[in-house]
Chains A and B, each alone.
Chain A
Amino acid sequence: MNFTYNETQDMLRDTLARFLADTYDFETRRKMVASDAGRDPGIWRALATELGILGAPFGEDQGGLGGGAVENMIVMEQVGEAIAIEPYLQTVVIGGGALKAAGGAQADALIPAIIGGEAIIAFAYAEPQGRYELRNLRTTAKRDGAGWVLNGHKAVVYAAPWATHLLVTARTGGGQRDTDGVSLFLIEANRPGIVRRDYPTVDGFRASEIYFENCSVPGEALLGAEGAALPLIEKLVDEATAAVCAEATGVMRRLHAGTMDYAKQRKQFGRAIADFQVLQHRMVDMFMEVEQAASMTLMATLKLDLPDAERMAAVSQAKAKVGKGLKFTGQNAIQIHGGIGITDELAIGHYFKRATMIEGQFGSVDHHLARFERLSMPE
């Protein structure tokens, strides 16, 4: 057993932390979020070319740094600390993960483009009726000669307005909630027949509703096996869930640290409010949530390559625990700040908003509790 980072991993964390501290202060982020594009493409370019970080989880033979899930965890924790809106999760963790798993010509062509910062991938998996059930799909892909024709509506696709490619789950057979008949496609985002409605999200990202209207895609857009992609999709989403747990750890760490700083300098009744025992205990409880989030993230990340049932149980334990911790830490950070915590001006509120959205991302606490119960106590 060894929980220490190796030299390369230490360097990855330190380099990224320094870069974000220098370039991603809260005011800069605010300006990016408010701009027309909603982001600064220069940051993504710098992550690719100056830092070389977008290659973190890819093999050296593909031009990457030779890492994997642990490297993604390291990056995502820093993303959380900066509440960065860069599409690392969508592009590198999920898109990159899908390409690594599928291999083939698509992967050979696109992985270098991801590492180079030219490709941005958005993950179009959720549907209005589907909630967190990955197989609950109305979007269809029908064979058309050598290619496919897609129809359907994908909900709240984070990073879609910026994307060069869309990773899409669609039904090539079976009924709406069947396990069989689910397929995965990677398609260019600007294909005819794709209608997007873009909007900002409450946590500072951009997202889209995506409508496929008889959208033709070539045969090679299919990733993995036709009609049998659900296990792959479940694994990708588990990897993404572990990654947002890492992000959550970073977010919670800042919520706690920001609250400590504030409580020490805010004076009421003639003393710092950090002197009041009721608030001290609250901040201790927040601290314990942060530490447990870090522990659960590590546990889940290290179990991502175990057999399916073990991986799912580990990830669901982590997300259920982290989800509760996010709510507790976020709500108390605001409570201890008082009125000033609810203003748009302070960073703390924006950490709270991201914390709130991570809570529901890839499944609420209830969703993961239920999945863990099914796996750990089968009927």
Chain B
Amino acid sequence: MDLEFSPEDLAFREEARAFIAENYPSALRGKQEEGEELAKEDFLSWHRVLAKKGWIAPAWPKEYGGPGWTTTQRFIWSEELARADTLPILPFGINMVGPVIYTFGTPEQKARFLPRILSGEDWWCQGYSEPGAGSDLASLRTRAVRDGDHYIVNGQKTWTTLAQHADWGFFLVRTDPDSKPQEGISFLLIDMKSPGVTVRPIITLGGEHEVNEVWLEDVRVPVDQRIYEENKGWTCAKFLLAHERTGIAGVARSKRGVERIKTIARSEMDGDRPLIANPFFKRKIAELEIDLTALEYTELRTLASEASGRGPGPESSLLKIKGTEIQQRLTELALEAVGHYGAPYFRGFGEGDNEHPIGPDYAHRAAPTYFNGRKTSIYGGSNEIQRNIIAKMVLGL
């Protein structure tokens, strides 16, 4: 047992760092720094670079297109991505539906969908929550009725992130209304261009259009787009949620966030000294950093047990709770640090509008990021639900 990286790991780190430095799209860097809203093409440009290199899906088995990295290499890679402040790779294809397909799908389904997830040709979205089924996801009511080789799907999904760009969606639907809630659900892949699919925007507190309502009206879905057995979709859903929760810890990103807070606190003045010299503020950064270290080593222990063959279990709820709490505290500290300049509302650059946003560059997204960040303790199973999972599944209460 040790903490040292092997010479091979160190060489890999150099390689990863150099690759990012040489290949990260510079246009993207500029937009990120200016806090500009990102278009579909922006997300895809970096995705394609990684796909070409074969590094887009670090966690996938090699036979499906993963790079075959060790757990340590994956850890180093995520650290390097965060260090370079790259745009996160969208999770819906790579981290969510991809693992479900290679774990539960047929050979035909794997061949049909996995390569296009890797290449970025298909943009995926997630059709889970419904207006009446949030924390109680298993109470979902979207119906799929068998009609020969098809299902006819009717219902409404909500909080569907970036569905406005999606080519495909993975949906939980009810195929047996008479059994227990968890037992009558199936996992369907739906072409978002199918007749009867309507996507409507939901505007959130920071003014962003990130999430959507998705309406399904008599949508015909071929039966061969069902993953795993009929009425066994909950198995896929639970598997996916556990995967989502590990990704949600966001340790490397939060480390970057801590550095960012320190940079802001060095620039902001507090009387005759920079804010970072204020003992109250400094203490809050220190406490946050200590909690982040605790999360990091908890995640490393989880990864290590995964590497020894055990998939992510209910322990991943701990990572979700602590990870999102830390992400939220980071947004709180950033807003606190910028003082008065948290108030101006920056609505992005309009057509032909080159006016510089009000206040320092690091300030104008602080409030919207704080508002938007409240979602992290709600999505992916609220933190209250995660505590229930730990109570029941880990502690046996």
Contact = CB atoms under 8 A, between A and B. Distances in A.
Interface of A: 126, 128-133, 136, 155-156, 158, 177, 197, 199-203, 207, 209, 267-270, 273, 276, 278-279, 327, 331, 334-335, 338-339, 341-345, 349, 352-353, 356-357, 360, 364, 366, 369-370
Say whether chain B's binding surface is mostly helix, strand, loop, or mixed.
Answer: mixed
B341 interface: yes
Contacts of A343: 202-205
B126 interface: no
Given A201-B343, A331-B374, A339-B375, A344 B205 contact: yes
Given A202-B367, A369-B280, A342 B205 contact: yes
Interface string B130-170: 00111110010000000000000000001100000000000
Main secondary structure of the interface of A (DSSP, over half): mixed
A342 B378 contact: yes
B342 A202 contact: yes
Interface centre among A203, A331, A360 (most CB of B within 10 A): A360
A156 B335 CA distance: 15
B310 interface: no
Contacts of A345: 202-203
Interface string B176-190: 000000000000000
B310 to A, nearest CB: 29
9 contacts: A156-B341, A156-B358, A197-B358, A202-B367, A202-B368, A334-B374, A349-B371, A353-B205, A366-B336
Given A156-B344, A343-B204, A356 B367 contact: yes
- The 9 closest A-B CB pairs, nearest first, are A268-B136, A366-B280, A156-B340, A344-B203, A201-B343, A202-B367, A200-B345, A202-B345, A349-B205
Contact of B159 (A268, A339, A360): A339
Given A335-B378, A344-B207, A356-B335, A133 B340 contact: no
Q: Which of B205, B341, B371 has the most C-beta atoms of chain A within 10 angstroms of its own C-beta? A: B205
B271 interface: yes
A63 B132 CA distance: 56
Nearest to A158: B343
Given A339-B379, A366-B280, A370-B280, A126 B203 contact: no
Contacts of B332: 327
B384 interface: yes
B74 to A, nearest CB: 31
Contacts of A366: 278, 280-281, 336
B359 interface: yes
Interface string B372-393: 1011011100111001000000
A86 B280 CA distance: 34
Given A203-B343, A268-B139, A270-B139, 8 more contacts: A158-B343, A199-B358, A200-B347, A209-B358, A268-B135, A268-B136, A338-B382, A353-B367
A342 B209 CA distance: 12
B211 to A, nearest CB: 8
Contacts of B139: 268-270
Nearest to A369: B280
A29 B22 CA distance: 50
A202 B278 CA distance: 27
B385 to A, nearest CB: 10
Given A335-B374, A343-B203, A131 B272 contact: no
B195 interface: no
A203 B370 CA distance: 13
Nearest to A204: B345
Interface string B323-365: 0000000001001100111111101000000000011000000
- Contact size range, B: 35 or more
A224 B132 CA distance: 61
Contacts of B218: none
A366 B159 CA distance: 36
A357 B129 contact: no
Contacts of B37: none
B269 interface: yes
B270 interface: yes
B315 interface: no
A138 to B, nearest CB: 11
A155 B341 contact: yes
B268 interface: yes
A136 B270 CA distance: 10
Nearest to B357: A199
B372 A199 contact: no
A128 B267 CA distance: 11
Contact of A353 (B132, B133, B281, B371): B371
Contacts of B371: 202, 342, 349, 352-353, 356
Contacts of B129: 339
Contacts of B207: 344
Nearest to A201: B343
A366 B135 CA distance: 35
Contact of B342 (A276, A352, A357, A369): A357
A334 B204 CA distance: 12
A369 B375 CA distance: 30
Nearest to A203: B343
Contacts of A200: 344-345, 347
A54 B328 CA distance: 40
Contacts of B345: 199-202
A131 B382 contact: no
Contacts of A327: 332
A338 B340 CA distance: 29
Nearest to A199: B344
A370 B280 CA distance: 9
A199 B205 CA distance: 17
